[in-house]
Amino acid sequence: MTTLAEQVTLVELVDRVLHKGVVIARVLLASVATLEEER
């Protein structure tokens, strides 16, 4: 079981890694847009 602090960090981590950073337009994999739409 993860602690509340770990959960908070994971939420923050996922938010940064999946939604921030340089977006490269021409990559093999399009993006994680599918996931964002589902959230």
**Six-digit token pair at 15?**
């938010």
Taking the C-alpha atoms of residue 33 and residue 18, their distance in angstroms, rounded to an integer, is 9
Minimum distance between the CB of residue 18 and another protein, rounded to whole angstroms? 5
Taking the C-alpha atoms of residue 25 and residue 28, their distance in angstroms, rounded to an integer, is 9
**Entry field: residues in the chain:** 39
Residues 1-39 that bind another protein (CB under 8 A): 4, 7-24, 27-32, 34-35, 38-39
Minimum distance between the CB of residue 5 and another protein, rounded to whole angstroms? 9
Interacting residue ranges for another protein, rule: CB under 8 A: 4, 7-24, 27-32, 34-35, 38-39
